[in-house]
Structure 1
Amino acid sequence: MVIEESQWLGKLVEKDLLEKMLSSFSKSTGLKAVLVDIGGNTLVSPEKEIKDCRFCQMIRSDGTGIDKCRRSYARAGREAAKYGEPYIFRCHAGLIAWAAPILLDEYVGSIICGQVLMWDPEDYFLEEIEEMVKGLDVDFSGVKWAAAQLDVMSSEKVQAAADLLFVVANQIMKSGLTVLEQRRKIASQQARLAEEIQARKRAEVAIRTIESRSLRLYSLEKEYELKAKVRNFEQEEALHLLDHLLADIIGKQMEDIDTLKTRIIELLVIISRAAVDGGADLNDVLQLNARSYRELLDKKDSDEICLWTKNMLKTYMDHIEISKDQKNLQATQKAADYIRENFRQKLTIDEIAQAVYLSPCYLSRIFKQNFGCTLMEYLAQVRVEKAKTMLKNPQFNVMQVAEESGFEDPGYFTRVFKKVEGVTPSRFKQNAL
């Protein structure tokens, strides 16, 4: 997306936010930072918090000086954008400054900070300053005196200030890119809806009464399908169906925003009921409904409403997934409890699954996801833990321990125990006594 440099500031990043960021930076560092466009023109400046140094005020008192400052800022910004990192430079008047680029799809501006010295101003430097400002209508002796009064910063402090400025620039970029991404989504949604609407127009029939009835039946059918897709947690298919329904609604209520909102509320009711049927918590869904209705009232644009509706569909389906995850966790915990209570018996996966009312295949999958091991591996761990406790008791021998721990075959008990603990039961018992 190409944005004219005169427009990007107000449309992508709130000016109040920019002023607050630059003001905070200036107050914390004592250094003035300004936001400039790609031509070096100042867009935002914390003028109330910190003024230009006396040196810069004298240079900028001349129109040529202002123009040179602008060109110097523009060049530094381009260099910073080229490498995507802070760029430390010497301005046209000889002072040290640094630039942090603002990149929003393309280079749109930079933050300039300075101006300081990095060395004590000796005679040759002051003579150099006089040479660099020739051609300006300024008092040369006053300029040299002002240069001599500037703060001297070490290279480490200059680099640290440049890095901090880059953090501020990145925050601005993050804010701007969020707006850009929202615009892309709306544009993409608008394109899809426009294509769908055009397809509908090409398919219009001569008798509008018949067409109206047909479209209503079509919508009812699609709404029924949408409810089924949401309930079965088929998200991609549900989003595709919602695109068709939104195109149908927009095509008929393009000019009436209130009627559009009413139809969207009807869709949300369908979606929310399907979410509850799919396992979402009823109280969570009711709270989400209340929030969504309030949000919808504030929407003014049909494209924004459509994108918001799709995001709400995803949110409802997220609640289904959360509920499923919670139920799966409860089911696997019950399975683990059942194993710990019945480990002495000859357990099978089918028996454990039957105890928690799930299919063996599904329980095996979610148990591995939540516990990181299979049902049989967990059973072996429980039995080995019981065996370890008994092996520490002198009155039990290895065969007794194997039997009491649920192992019918002492040889199998030895193999499993060694696999889990790294030693045989006999060695473990010797070490424990």
Structure 2
Amino acid sequence: MNHSDVNQDKKVQWLEQLVGRDLLDKMLCSFSKSTGLKAILVDNKGNTLISTDHAIKDCDFCQMIKSDSNGAKKCQRSYARACIEASKYGEPYIFRCHAGLIMWAAPILLDGYVGSIICGQVLMWEPEDYFLEEIEEMVKGLHIDIAAVKWSASQLEIMSSDKVQAAADLLFVVANQVMQSGMTVLEQRREIAAQQARLAEEIQARKRAEVAMSTIESRTNRINSLEKEQELRTMVRNGEKRAAERLLEKILVDIFAKNSNHLDTLKTRVMELVVIISRAAVDGGAELSEVLQLNAIFYQELHDIPSSDELCLWTKKMLESYMSYLESNKNQKNLQAIQKAAEYIRNNYRNKLTIDDIAQAVYLSPCYVSRIFKQGLGCTLMEYLTQVRVEEAKTMLKNPKYNVMQVAEESGFEDPGYFTRVFKKLEGVTPSRFKQHAL
């Protein structure tokens, strides 16, 4: 393995530690399956770190280009340039690759790491003769079948500028989710070190103190401990990360101060905390089967811990794991809900749709789905529905068999007058004028 391969493996491993390979792969595959567009994760050198080949393959055009080593290198350089441009502006970057296809890159900027999620392999216009001649010039020098390449170019999907922008925006949502997950883990690692030092200092102070416990005091302390544990359960269930960490620190101080010389007793008490926290995670919306898998891992790790100091730090990390999982699970479910809502609109735009209809289709409340859709795509559900209807209307207007009245009805607009107003607002011309120029 050469030096470049080693560095690439380290980048993948670093991202996996921060975000998780399964989550990265699941997010890219969810995007690809919902949009029909292949997505890959690349570094700032254009190297592909994670690909969705197992879900969606490259188009025939790209496969032929990449079959030549020089063509593959040019693709890599295109990716590297797009990655740099996207990171420069911190927003989706739409570009033409070296072979002439339209693609877009969503930047990932994480603690000095620069990468991008890249997607596309489409055209934004009908491939005319001059374009095919341009492609022939672009791929000159590659050992590939030029005629086959030009034919495959003519078969590429054609997307409107609005759809390209919408897909780029949705990809940006995915990239932001990756960055948010990674930053959460980085922040947790930094806090663990600081909190470990504070916790160790307070434990030592408790050890030096002479504590005389009477039966009544012991009973009172036990009641207080149960109240703290119940409060911890509520905080975890509600996703109150900072408050839960502070309360766990207090609980650990109580436990370790009383049982510092009895490792088995400490492990038993910590085991009780694992049960409390894991049940709270399930109450908070985590999948029971996945929580049980985490529990099995934690029980084995707990058994192998050799000292009380390591046990204290491990307990803190255990809480971090559950809280991070709850947060990631919530964000992933939101992304899936946005994708399902968008897909439902695209499949039912001809019908009279309401926000309640869309919310019912994704099993969420109307208020909640409206909020996450706006946050995710930057437009409301009804604005997105209107965009989809207008895009369908534009396609139908190009067909001479339909008049404006028919187009309005078939694309989901009940009132032709309203259709005309909306169409002109979005496209700058009336449907009639658009049809005249399109024919």
Which bin holds the TM-score, normalised by the shorter protein? 0.5 to 0.7
8 Å Cα contact 1:186/1:304 also seen in 2? no
User: What is the aligned partner in structure 2 of residue 186 from structure 1?
Assistant: 196
User: What is the aligned partner in structure 1 of residue 71 from structure 2?
Assistant: none
User: What is the aligned partner in structure 1 of residue 405 from structure 2?
Assistant: 399
8 Å Cα contact 1:189/1:303 also seen in 2? no
Point out which structure has higher relative CO (alpha carbons under 8 A, 6+ apart).
2
State the alpha-carbon separation in 1 of the partners of residues 318 and 247 from structure 2.
14
Secondary structure in 2 aligned to 1:393?
Answer: coil
Spell out, residue by residue over 1:266-325, the C-alpha distance to the aligned partner (whole angstroms, 9 max, x if none). 111111121122122233222322222333334334333222211211111111122222
8 Å Cα contact 2:390/2:411 also seen in 1? yes
User: What is the aligned partner in structure 2 of residue 58 from structure 1?
Assistant: none
Change (3 A) 1:193 1:402: farther
State the alpha-carbon separation in 2 of the partners of residues 274 and 426 from structure 1.
60
State the alpha-carbon separation in 2 of the partners of residues 310 and 275 from structure 1.
15
Q: Which of 404, 418, 423 does residue 417 from structure 1 map onto?
A: 423
Deviation at 1:209, TM superposition (A): 0.8
Change (3 A) 1:379 1:265: same
User: What is the aligned partner in structure 1 of residue 372 from structure 2?
Assistant: 366
The aligned length equals 252
Q: Which of 314, 322, 334 does residue 340 from structure 2 map onto?
A: 334
Q: Which of 283, 289, 297 does residue 289 from structure 2 map onto?
A: 283
State the alpha-carbon separation in 2 of the partners of residues 269 and 300 from structure 1.
21
State the alpha-carbon separation in 2 of the partners of residues 311 and 211 from structure 1.
31
8 Å Cα contact 2:390/2:423 also seen in 1? yes
User: What is the aligned partner in structure 2 of residue 219 from structure 1?
Assistant: 225
User: What is the aligned partner in structure 2 of residue 235 from structure 1?
Assistant: 241
Secondary structure in 2 aligned to 1:314?
Answer: helix
User: What is the aligned partner in structure 2 of residue 310 from structure 1?
Assistant: 316
Change (3 A) 1:301 1:184: farther
Tell me which amino acid in the other structure corresponds to 1:357: Y
Tell me which amino acid in the other structure corresponds to 1:285: V
Change (3 A) 1:261 1:412: same
After TM superposition, list the pairs within 5 Å mapping 1:83-102 onto structure 2: none
State the alpha-carbon separation in 2 of the partners of residues 427 and 238 from structure 1.
62
Change (3 A) 1:307 1:207: closer
8 Å Cα contact 1:227/1:271 also seen in 2? yes
Deviation at 1:255, TM superposition (A): 1.2
Q: Which runs of 5+ in 2 are unaligned?
A: 1-188
User: What is the aligned partner in structure 1 of residue 260 from structure 2?
Assistant: 254
Change (3 A) 1:246 1:381: same
Q: Which of 303, 306, 309 does residue 297 from structure 1 map onto?
A: 303
Whose Rg is larger?
A: 1
8 Å Cα contact 1:281/1:319 also seen in 2? no
User: What is the aligned partner in structure 2 of residue 349 from structure 1?
Assistant: 355
After TM superposition, list the pairs within 5 Å mapping 1:62-81 onto structure 2: none
Root-mean-square deviation over aligned CA pairs = 3.0
State the alpha-carbon separation in 1 of the partners of residues 295 and 193 from structure 2.
25
Spell out, residue by residue over 1:212-252, the C-alpha distance to the aligned partner (whole angstroms, 9 max, x if none). 11112221221122112111111112112211211110121
Deviation at 1:432, TM superposition (A): 2.4
Tell me which amino acid in the other structure corresponds to 1:188: R
Secondary structure in 1 aligned to 2:363?
Answer: coil
TM-score w.r.t. structure 1 length?
A: 0.52
State the alpha-carbon separation in 2 of the partners of residues 391 and 257 from structure 1.
77
Tell me which amino acid in the other structure corresponds to 2:200: Q
Which deviates the most, 277-286 or 413-422? 413-422
After TM superposition, list the pairs within 5 Å mapping 1:116-195 onto structure 2: 184-193=194-203
State the alpha-carbon separation in 2 of the partners of residues 226 and 414 from structure 1.
57
State the alpha-carbon separation in 2 of the partners of residues 313 and 291 from structure 1.
14
Aligned-residue sequence identity (percent) comes to: 66
State the alpha-carbon separation in 2 of the partners of residues 185 and 222 from structure 1.
19
State the alpha-carbon separation in 2 of the partners of residues 181 and 343 from structure 1.
48
